[in-house]
Amino acid sequence: MSKTFFITTAIDYTNGAPHIGHAYEKVLTDAIAHHRRLRGEPVFFMTGVDQHGQKVQQSAAKQGIEPAEFVAGITELFVALWKKLDIRYDAWAATVEDLHKHCVQGMLQRLWDEGKFYKATQSGHYSVRQEQFLTEKERGPDGEFGPEWGEVVLIEEENYYFKLAEHRQWLLDLIDQRSAAGNPLVVPDFRVAELRNAVEKLAGDLCISRPKSRLTWGIELPFDRDFVTYVWFDALSNYISFAGYDAAPGADLSLFKSRWPAVHVIGKDILAPPHGIYWLIMLHALGFTDEEMPTLLVHGWWNIAGAKMSKSLGNIVDPSELVDRYGRAATRYYLLSDIATGRDADFSNERLEQRYNTELANSLGNLLNRTLNMAKRYRSGVLKKSDSPLAEFVQEKTKAWDSAMEAFHVQTAIEALMEIVIRCNAYVEETAPWKLAKDPAQADKLDEVLYSLSESLRIVSILLLPILPEESNAMRAQLNWSGEPTLANTAWGLLPDAHQLGDPVPLFPRIEVPA
């Protein structure tokens, strides 16, 4: 049995409603997980919500409700959205759960017992919004702390610190070793340098506590009940707490080890320092070996007309509304096809409409429909197994699709799939089955064309599964092929002789765009 492919997404903050950035990350991960399942690999896909911290406490207070009630409401929005987008995750990590709290406390206790923390006093300017002390570097050209820091107050505080800086060289070596071994710690590899530069600059340690006098909505330090732990320490730990980890010496870690290490899917904003520095060093301090370090798959951002989505700009795109307006297929397809993994992209309704209408409604939907219609009209939907001039091309593109998916380049994989569709449509024009049907001498040729198209569509349906699972199944239902959708079953020629095709049902109705 091969090792479980363990893939997680960043757990989403529950201090605001989900937007298309959140939706993209989930759809991307869902597609990658489906691809691994198609290959027959055991998959464990975990996602969830990050529910503690100062911002949540403040948002709840503003609404005059308890933080627990506040996060429960926002969590519901996320859960409903993942259902609406058909995200098939295997485990749900919600950081208010007891299992998580116990695990995090176990980790904290162990690191404390092993001398990895120390207590110290810090005084200075503190940003309430960003929950961090500010240094001189953070002052703007006018000498003031900019509006991005929100309210800045002078405080003096005792806290616990995690010895980060002493692991700097270890982390630099790890980054270099993983790159040299062709297994970069950060994917796509153009982000490796970004992390390396951040690690080079690593000087201080990490404050991992907050006094309860200003933050109660968090996990208590087991060795000092006057403090809760810093939200990043809490949140990052979800990747192991919900996967069966236990920091207690001698704990049974067999289930956990069958999953670990993970691929963490995160946005570029949380690579350095949280995942690329804090998290890796936390794992290292807990005794995880270099071989047990995760891989960080870092995606780019969806922007709106080149600008960041933000509440203040009022340009936040609600993915749930998008699904209501255009459907799930159009939404998933757009989010996966119009961005290259790792790069940023600009969101636009026009591009969504255009890609859906051109690629799904016109190219793929039409190909399926005309193939089934012609087969029905000329052969009562019964195929004759024949050699095909398309076989080699389809197999080549299937391989390209698989390699692209393996490298997490979903956009490139979709291009390979669409090349098959485009080739098939051109083949229909070249062979003109409606003319062949009029000439009894061309009966074999007509059978060859109908088999080639149906078999190509069967394979395309499997390649489409990670992108649009529901439509992929619907395609196979129309083709009346009940075999398993697996990568092995993308081999050419699995539609048997005398196969009876099903009835055509329009699959991708056009989005009508008002003129």
Residues that bind ligand MSP (CB under 6 A): 10-13, 21-22, 24-25, 50, 235-236, 238, 266-267, 269-270, 301-302, 309
Cβ neighbours around 392 below 10 Å, total: 10
Q: Nearer Cβ to ligand MSP, position 18 or 365?
A: 18
**What residues are paired with 7 via a beta bridge?**
45, 263
Question: Which residue's CB is nearer to ligand MSP, number 12 or number 471?
Answer: 12
Q: How far apart are CA 227 and CA 233, in angstroms?
A: 13
Residue nearest to ligand MSP (CB): 267
The nearer residue to ligand MSP, 25 or 30, going by C-beta atoms, is: 25
The least CB distance from residue 380 to ligand MSP, in Å, is 49
Kindly state the smallest distance separating residue 199's Cβ from ligand MSP, in Å: 19
Closest distance between ligand MSP and the C-beta of residue 325, in Å?
A: 19
Chain mean position to CA 44: 13
The smaller minimum CB distance to ligand MSP, of residues 52 and 397, is found at: 52
Cβ 411 to ligand MSP, closest distance in Å? 15
CB of 261 to ligand MSP, least distance (A): 15
State how far the Cα of 342 lies from the Cα of 189, in Å rounded to an integer. Answer: 9
Determine contact, residues 336/411, Cβ cutoff 8 Å.
yes
- Angle at Cα 180 formed by Cα 197 and Cα 238, nearest 5°? 65
Task: Give the closest residue to 449 by CA, choosing from 435, 470, 461.
Answer: 435
The 3-state DSSP class for residue 326 equals helix
The smaller minimum CB distance to ligand MSP, of residues 56 and 487, is found at 56
Q: Please give the DSSP secondary-structure letter assigned to residue 48.
A: E
User: Which residue, 96 or 436, is less far from ligand MSP as judged by CB?
Assistant: 96
Give the total residue count for the chain. Answer: 515
Q: Where are the beta strands (DSSP E) in 111-169?
A: 117-127, 132-133, 152-162
The residue (of 11 and 262) whose beta carbon lies closer to ligand MSP is 11
Comparing CB distances to ligand MSP, the nearer of 275 and 476 is 275
**Tokens (6 digits) for 310:** 């933000």
12 or 220: CB nearest ligand MSP = 12
Question: 13 or 112: whose CB is closer to ligand MSP?
Answer: 13
Q: What's the DSSP call for residue 145? A: B
Q: Which residues are CB-contacts of 281 (< 8 A; sequence separation ≥ 6)?
A: 162, 164, 167, 171
What is the nearest approach in angstroms of ligand MSP to the Cβ of residue 16? 8
Considering Cα of 31, then 486, then 492, then 473, what sign does the dihedral take? negative
Sign of CA dihedral 9, 298, 2, 401: positive
Question: 80: how many CB neighbours lie within 10 A of its CB?
Answer: 12
Output the smallest distance, CB 87 to ligand MSP, in A. Answer: 14
Pick the closer one to ligand MSP by CB: 10 or 187: 10
Does a cis peptide bond (omega within 30 degrees of 0) precede residue 261? yes
Alpha-carbon gap, residue 171 to 161, rounded angstroms: 19
CB atoms within 10 A of CB 99: 12
User: C-beta of 274: minimal distance to ligand MSP in Å?
Assistant: 7
Side-chain-side CA neighbours of residue 234 (13 Å): 26
- With tokens 């092993």, the residue in question is 114
* Shortest Å, Cβ 73 to ligand MSP: 15
Residue in the block written with tokens 């295997």? 90
Shortest Cβ 81–ligand MSP spacing (Å): 12
- Going by the DSSP 8-state scheme, the letter that residue 420 receives in this structure is H
In DSSP terms, which residues pair with 13 in a beta bridge?
50
User: What's the rounded Cα separation, in Å, for the pair 361 and 506?
Assistant: 9
CB-nearer residue toward ligand MSP: 191 or 397 = 191
Contact status, residue 8 vs residue 47, Cβ threshold 8 Å: yes
Preceding peptide of 188 cis, ω within 30° = yes
Question: What's the min distance (Å) between Cβ of 304 and ligand MSP?
Answer: 9
How far is Cα 313 from Cα 319, in angstroms, rounded to an integer?
17
Nearest approach in angstroms of CB 239 to ligand MSP is 7
Nearer to ligand MSP, 77 or 437 (CB): 77
Closest distance of CB 268 from ligand MSP, Å? 7
